[in-house]
Structure 1
Amino acid sequence: MKGNKNSNKEVASEMFVARSLDETRFWSRIMKEHSLFLRLGFRCEDTQLIAEANQFYHLFEQIERRAHSFTNQTDPEQIRRFNSEVQQAATHIFAFKRKVLGLILTCQLPGANNFPLLVDHVSREANYFRNRLIELNEGKLKPLADAIIKENVFFLRIMADHAKFIGHLLDPSERKLVDMARNFSNDFDELVFQARDLEGMKPHSQTVPLLDQFLDQNRVSVASLRDFKKTARDLIEECKIKSIIHPLLADHVFREADRFLTIIDMFEAHLTGATPHSK
């Protein structure tokens, strides 16, 4: 019996390390890229904001590098300390993003090129990242029914935002692509409302059939948007369409859609015991 307890503890520790490193490797790169995108949107005279963005870029570049230097066999206590350190960094970049949003909304950065919704969007992702690290350090590893709806509300809104950004950053003459982006925006706005309706019906809505159908429906739309993003990314990289979308931004939003699909598969496997869908 004692052997089983020790074995379970080891499995939990390995899962904690693997999940922690996966989150930090993914989101530290995202935070690093946010710093770049914000910097590109500032005016040349915003030297202080540019310097702060550069500092965050280098901070998360270092964190990303360190995350890749650890392995799944690294001491869990070392990872726990690393999570706390990274969580502090995520908290600081969250505060920076909210400060920038405040400056934009009070018209103190006229002529800058960061949409208020984009700055709000990247701050929500920083908040998500820091909360995820806190949850991991508190031992919240398993995807609960509560988390399924909450995570989907978060990511569906992220996908809706992406569609809006793409539509606004494409050249207006790219009418067909702008139309497609607008349709995706409308589709995901509807999915966000549906997810919030399901959230409002908790706990009665947290049945396996309802959640399974919820995940299936979201997967179809997310897979379609991911494929659209991949096509747009490839066309931008090959200079085949007109836009002011940075190639890295195109790849960035593609990776986030891909991440959401992985999370949907993880939730469905937890719900039904099924093998995750192949991409």
Structure 2
Amino acid sequence: MTDPIVARSLDEIKFWSRIMKEHALFLSLGFTHDQDQLISEAQQFIAIFERIEERLARFSIHSDLQQIRMFNSEVYQAAAGIWNYKRKVLGLTLRCEIRSNNYPLLVDHISREAAYFANRLQELNRGELAPKPEAIIEENVFFLRIMADHAKFIGHLLDPSERKLVEQAREFSHDFDQLLFQAVDLESMRPQSETRPILSQFLNQNKVSVASLRDFKKTARELIEECRIKSNIHPLLADHTFREAERFLDIIELFENSLTGNTN
């Protein structure tokens, strides 16, 4: 019988290790040529997460739970390490000790994702799988902010002459800011299990908006890959943001199942 903690751990590590590796790559591409130490550190993290991906391939959903917990703990150290590195880069940037092409909000954004990954590994090692109502809202606050950030980054990295796409990105940014504010309001109300209809409506509203943004990202990714629009967006970054939107939709579905009692 498959242990759900094992299956979920492997899934989280598979998704987020690739994301962390790509974060390190994006940071390295944004540094100037004289920031060789920071570039070298980024490349070290690329290698660390590549090794994690190689080790991940040796496990399966039938692996021993204790082995997976040990692996989770090791990956946690890597996630915590890249979080520290990202926060260091953010501090250097905010103090104007370095100037690069990495937006401060982008560095903060990717550090939040590293913290999320590390926290998920700790939760799984504590055996926490099924979300509580308050966790559902907290998780949506996190991902709604991620989606709002993505829309802002896309808008700023598109060439200004791409007016229609820039305007679409701004509209998505505004929409997700509003959804985020609404989620924060709901979070402070602390709905309990008896308010499941409110949570269900909350999730459904978010799902519709995320699906729309996901489709926009998919179109943008295809246009970038085919060199049909002008931008400073790396094709891998376009795919990266698309995958994160897909991930959010998967998580919403997981939460919807938890509210209905379907944990399969």
Instruction: Give the alignment's TM-score, normalised by structure 2.
Output: 0.97
Give the superposition deviation at 1:68: 2.5
**Number of the residue aligned with 2:79:** 90
| In structure 1, C-alpha distance between the alignment counterparts of 2:242 and 2:123, rounded to whole Å | 26
Once the two structures are TM-superposed, the CA of residue 66 in structure 1 deviates from its matched residue by: 1.4
Structure 1 match to 2:45: 56
Q: Secondary structure at the match of 2:250?
A: helix
Matched pairs, number: 264
Greater shift after overlay, 138-147 or 33-42? 138-147
Asked if the contact 2:151/2:169 (under 8 Å) is kept, the reply is yes
8 Å CA contact 1:42, 1:113 repeated in 2: yes
Counting only pairs closer than 5 Å after superposition, residues 1-279 of structure 1 correspond to structure 2 as 14-110=3-99, 112-203=100-191, 207-273=195-261
Contact 1:146 / 1:206 at 8 angstroms: preserved in 2? no
Determine the C-alpha separation between the residues in 1 that align with 2:194 and 2:244: 26
1:33-82 Cα distance to aligned partner (Å, 9 max, x none): 00000000000000100000000001011112211221011111111000
- What SS class does the counterpart of residue 57 from structure 2 fall into? helix
Change (3 A) 1:206 1:153: farther
Q: Distance in 1 between matches of 2:63 and 2:132?
A: 26
Amino acid at match of 2:234: H
Unaligned 5+ segments in structure 1 are: 1-9
Q: Secondary structure at the match of 1:69?
A: coil
CA contact (8 A) 1:215 1:268 kept: yes
* Larger CA Rg, structure 1 vs 2: 1
Q: Give the superposed CA RMSD.
A: 1.4
CA-to-aligned-CA distance 1:186-234 (integer Å, 9 cap, x gap)? 0000000000000000145971100000000000000000000000000
% same residue? 69
Task: Write the letter of the residue equivalent to 1:188.
Answer: F
Kept in 1, the 8 Å contact 2:203–2:256? The answer is yes
Query: For the structure 1 residues 206 and 249, does the alpha-carbon distance in structure 2 shift closer, same or farther, using more than 3 Å as the test?
Result: farther
- Alpha-carbon distance in structure 2 between the residues aligned to 1:33 and 1:64: 13
Give the gaps of 5 or more residues in structure 2: none
The offset of 1:147, in angstroms, is: 1.2
Q: C-alpha separation between the residues in 1 aligned to 2:260 and 2:127?
A: 23
| Amino acid across the alignment from 2:62 | Q
Contact 2:133 2:192 in 1 (8 A): no
Distance 1:45 1:66 in 2: 34
Give the structure-1-normalised TM-score.
Answer: 0.92
Cα distance between partner residues in 2 of 1:142 and 1:275:
8
Instruction: State whether residues 90 and 127 of structure 1, in contact with CA within 8 Å, keep that contact through their aligned partners in structure 2.
Output: yes
Letter in 2 for 1:139: G
